[in-house]
Amino acid sequence: MSLKALCGIKKRNIISIVITIAVIFFTNKYWLKFSSMPVDIDMEGKGKCSVEVQLNKKDDNKFKKTRSETKEINLNKSSNFNFQIHGAKFPKRIRLVLKDIQNEFPVTVKNVNLKNGEYVIKNFDNTEVVGAKVLNNNNELVLKPLNNIIYITFNNKLNLYSNINFDYKLFIIIVILTYLLAYKLSNYAADFNTIKGKSKTDLIFLIIFFIFLLVPMLHIDKSEMSYRENRMLAKLKPFITNQDEINFYFGRNFDKWFSDRFFLRDILIKIYNSLYFYFANMNDKGLYDKNTGFLYTLTEFDTYNINDLDKNYEELKKFNLFCNNHGIKLYVLIVPKKVEIYNTDKFYINKSSNHNKFMQYLKNKDSEGEVNIIYPYDELKNGAEKEFMFFKTEHHWTDDAAFIGYKALMNRIVKDFSDIHILNESDYNFSYNTLVRGDVFRTYDYGQSCSYINLIGMKKYHKTKYRYYTHKDFKNLHQTLTYIKYHFNKLYYYPKGSDYRVIQLGTSQNENLTEFIPFTFKNVKRLRNNTVIGIKQEDEFKIIKYYKDEILNYKPDIIIFCITYNNFLELHNLFNME
């Protein structure tokens, strides 16, 4: 054998050894396995959001050397969430990142423990929060979001390490196969130029092509449900079943399982939604009406069978009787849907609105005089010719619409309480803003309907200026917020108001009414029944179960029950005690 051939063999051996060492290094997570680091967190709040748990390799606050896991979670359905952080061998710091959060609802974080309780964060004194106001940080962290992303950094150093398992069998297999393959490839590459019409560029392209084929397999999503798509993901059924039978549909099932879980799939869905919304003005969460400039969540187009109204109205009658038996006058204010005030050409999504039948139903019941129901549809429809009755990027009514609703409500109330003074526009100062103020904390933001649109280009939806009301004697209004389990309340005291005790009960549409009701009466309790800590979404209208004692202890003269068109179907739960 010639010296040149021997040198060639030696060179190929060296190349094969180098490649083998490199492969061993990059595949160490397969043969030198560090167990995933479990992180359990109890969180309470409302709505869906994205939560990322980061474990930092270094003991600093830059979080550049991190291992993390991100989940789309539904705060309405669970309080405990488990994260498995892969590759966090010796973590030193932990940080939580909450994204796409609805910034009008507080979030509670508590019981943070790592490695199945080996390290527990018992208090939150040494915790840094960015993007939210801390309402409580004793044994739980209660946060009022200031925007749709929150950073929670726990500054105490972690003293943890992941368990290690050395798989020597796999290690030997990888070494032998890699060396043999590398040696064969080096031989093939050395002879490649001798093949006519071929080049090393072709070989490089071929290698890169097969590398990209492996990318989707780098990380398989283990979630059972996709909250972004609101559906369950496919489950993997084994080739040999538990009954020792062959699964003849294994290939088809594996294809569905892999298609639901491959690496970077969630990013592709986000890109698809954004592109689809850009070109079609619609995606799986909402739509944009070019003619009116309004954004709508798809729930805006929900409707219901008009035949279901009777059983809900009967519960409303029972609630009215309950109030009468305790010397309370009940007034039910129903806020119309935005899509009914601003009829959109996109209404083809659901053409069976039944809205006219609903209005006729309310008029018939109102004529019977059993329950005081106020539905200011005509007033808002007329008002829409002058001012905006709803925000373009949210389902809440504006201050102008709420003031119209307030007027309609008070005109009914003064029939029973003639000494009450109804406020006028002259009692208010006005300001203008392109952002939205629609919920309990009276902060300005983009609007909840923007949650399904990327922040890029968001400003094009916020060119409209809305008029906001501020009472001229605002400084003399005393407010107290209560935010604990089962209770999300505000107490108002205004010494110049009419001397009655009022409970302002209902959903978030009530919040813009708080610019008017608390300045009309001396004592007002804002009692919110939805988006409350500890109450599941399906239980939100169990008013008697959760609030009977609170109502009776407050001893109100008046209850203003403000709900929306869609809430009417939930009234069958008013006296549900289960």
Is 182 a member of any domain? no
Is 533 a member of any domain? yes
Choose between 270 and 149: higher pLDDT.
149
Tell if the pTM clears 0.75, that is, is over it. no
Is 10 a member of any domain? no
Q: Where do we find the tokens 């799986």? A: 284
SS (HEC) of 362-407:
HHHHHHHCCCEEECCHHHHHHHCCCCCCECCCCCCECHHHHHHHHH
Q: Check: CB of residue 339 under 8 Å from CB of residue 380.
A: no
Question: What span, in angstroms and rounded, lies between the C-alpha atoms of 48 and 169?
Answer: 44
Residue 308: other Cβ atoms inside 10 A = 12
* 276 confidence band (pLDDT: 50, 70, 90): low
Range among 66-70, 277-281, 312-316 with highest mean pLDDT value = 312-316
* 424 confidence band (pLDDT: 50, 70, 90): very high
* Residue 93: alpha-carbon gap to chain centroid: 26
Burial (0-12, 13-18, 19+ Cβ within 10 Å), 323: buried
- Give the CATH number of the domain where residue 74 resides: 2.60.60.40
User: pLDDT tens digits for 33-77?
Assistant: 778 889 999 988 888 888 999 999 888 777 877 888 888 888 877
87: number of CA atoms within 13 Å, CB side? 14
pLDDT of residue 228: 59
Name the average pLDDT for the chain.
84
Question: Which helix or strand (DSSP H or E) is residue 70 part of?
Answer: strand 66-74
Say if residue 242's pLDDT is above 80.
no
Is 567 a member of any domain? yes
Is 258 a member of any domain? no
Q: Check: CB of residue 312 under 8 Å from CB of residue 568.
A: yes
pLDDT of residue 214: 67
pLDDT of residue 100: 79
pLDDT of residue 39: 92
Residue 437: other Cβ atoms inside 10 A = 22
Domain boundary among 137, 154, 171: 154
Is 220 a member of any domain? no
Question: What span, in angstroms and rounded, lies between the C-alpha atoms of 335 and 184?
Answer: 75
* Average pLDDT, integer, range 338-361: 75
Domain boundary among 128, 154, 180: 154
pLDDT of residue 34: 78
User: pLDDT tens digits for 372-381?
Assistant: 999 999 999 9
User: pLDDT tens digits for 482-528?
Assistant: 877 788 899 999 999 999 999 999 999 999 999 999 999 999 999 99
Domain boundary among 106, 125, 154: 154
pLDDT of residue 408: 97
Q: Check: CB of residue 468 under 8 Å from CB of residue 431.
A: yes
Is 316 a member of any domain? yes
pLDDT more than 90, % of the chain: 34
pLDDT of residue 203: 64
Domain that holds residue 458: 294-573
* Average pLDDT, integer, range 99-112: 83
Say if residue 147's pLDDT is above 80.
no
User: pLDDT tens digits for 284-293?
Assistant: 677 888 778 8
Supply angle C-alpha 186, 187, 191, rounded to 5: 115
117 Ramachandran zone, left/alpha/beta (phi>0; psi -120 to 50): left
- Looking at the structure of the chain, the number of domains it has is 2
pLDDT of residue 495: 96
pLDDT of residue 105: 80
pLDDT of residue 149: 84
Q: Check: CB of residue 501 under 8 Å from CB of residue 556.
A: yes
Give the CA dihedral 504, 507, 511, 514, nearest 10 degrees.
-10
Is 330 a member of any domain? yes
Helices (H), 193-327: 200-214, 250-261, 265-280, 309-325
User: pLDDT tens digits for 181-220?
Assistant: 777 777 766 665 555 555 666 667 766 766 676 677 677 7
Query: Amino acid letter at 213?
Result: L
pLDDT of residue 433: 93
Question: What span, in angstroms and rounded, lies between the C-alpha atoms of 361 and 357?
Answer: 6
